[in-house]
Amino acid sequence: MTSIVVVDDDQAILNLVDIQLKDAGYHVWKAANGNKALEILESQAIDLAVVDVMMPHMDGYTLTEIVKSDFEIPVILLTAKGEIEDKEKGFRSGSDDYVVKPFHPKELLFRVQAVLRRYDKPADTVIKIAGLTINRKNYEVQSGTRTILMPRKEFELLSLLASRPNQVMTRDFLIEQIWGIDFEGDERTVNVHIKRIRERLAKLTEEITIRTVRGVGYRLEVEGS
């Protein structure tokens, strides 16, 4: 089970985050300050730390730096509203993402899942294809100055097809890679997603087309190559 340490001097927030993460199936360790958190990190195998910025004695940035250098696990910062400078500082100290208080429980969960996913799949994170930059680290697609945020399955499907252009991928392969072996839906799900990606791509670029290979699967083609 994935273990998360939550560090905040505010007991109420600590409990709230604890409940939300536990409900989502994570194992949660609570720490009221930086030193407690470090004690837990030393004695337990922890996968991720959620750290509040404003804490007495040791602030969140300092703690993040120590966690990143000594334990090499992802860190999500909890910051107060509108502190954009703080966010830059947070990223400089090495945090992987941030959530602005007050936050919706689902937002925190979304961040936790995204960061953990990123750590699961290291390496080859950025694919550049026909003017599109597909960043598998932050799940963003860049087209010129425009940033595209796709629903996760669609993003994964596109990045998988784009990782090997012109190569046919079977529907079974795509399902296994993206939805997992336990997926209970049928091939139509893939078709629906492909259709949507096509519609969306059409607005962005004419150079990329996803072609259906009848009876087999799909292939991403780049014009002029």
Partner 1 sequence: MKTLYSRFLIVTLLIITGSTIIGFLFSNSYYHQKVKPENDEKNMEIITGIASFAENQDDLDSYLEQMGSAGYQLYLVDSSGEDKFYGGEFRDKELPGTIVEQVLAGGDYHGMKNFPRETFVSGFFADELRNTVGTSFDYNGERYALFMRPDIELLFSEVHILLGWIVVIMLVLTIVAVLIAARMLVNPIRKLSNATHKVVDENFDVQLDIQRTDEIGHLADRFNHMTRRLGELDAMRKSFISNVSHDIQSPLLNIQGYARLLENDTLTNEEKQDYINVIKDETERMSMLSKQLLVLTSLDQKGKLEKKEAVDVTAQLKETIHKYRWLFEEKDLFVTYDLEEAVLLGDEAMLYAVWENLLTNAIKYNRPDGSIEISLQNKAAEVAIEFRDSGIGMTPEEQELIFERFYRADEARTTEGTGLGLSIVNQVIDMHGGTITVESEQDAGTSFFVVLPKK
> What residues numbered 71-90 form the site for partner 1, per CB under 8 A?
81-82, 84, 87
- Choosing from 30, 89, 196, 219, the residue that interacts with partner 1 (CB under 8 A) is 196
- Rule CB under 8 A: say whether 198 interacts with partner 1: no
Which x/- pattern over 91-110 shows residues binding partner 1 (rule: CB under 8 A)? ---------x--xx-xx-xx
Rounded-to-integer distance, Cα 37 and Cα 51, Å: 9
CA-wise closest residue to 63 among 43, 33, 100, 88: 33
> What residues numbered 14-53 form the site for partner 1, per CB under 8 A?
none
- Rule CB under 8 A: say whether 111 interacts with partner 1: yes
Residues 6+ apart with CB under 8 A from 134: 126, 127, 128, 141, 155, 158, 159, 162
Which of these ranges, 18-26, 124-132, 196-204, 214-222, lies near partner 1 under the rule CB under 8 A?
196-204
> What residues numbered 131-170 form the site for partner 1, per CB under 8 A?
144-152, 154
- Rule CB under 8 A: say whether 13 interacts with partner 1: no
Rounded-to-integer distance, Cα 31 and Cα 5, Å: 7
| Residue type at position 125 | T
Q: Residue 182: CA atoms inside 13 Å, Cβ hemisphere, count? A: 0
Q: Hey, is 72 helix, strand or coil?
A: coil
Write down the least CB distance from residue 105 to partner 1, Å.
10
Which x/- pattern over 166-195 shows residues binding partner 1 (rule: CB under 8 A)? ------------------------------
Shorter beta-carbon distance to partner 1: residue 146 or 214: 146
Q: Hey, is 49 helix, strand or coil?
A: strand
Rounded-to-integer distance, Cα 202 and Cα 161, Å: 16
Residues lying near partner 1 in the complex (CB under 8 A) are found at: 81-82, 84, 87, 100, 103-104, 106-107, 109-111, 144-152, 154, 196, 200, 204
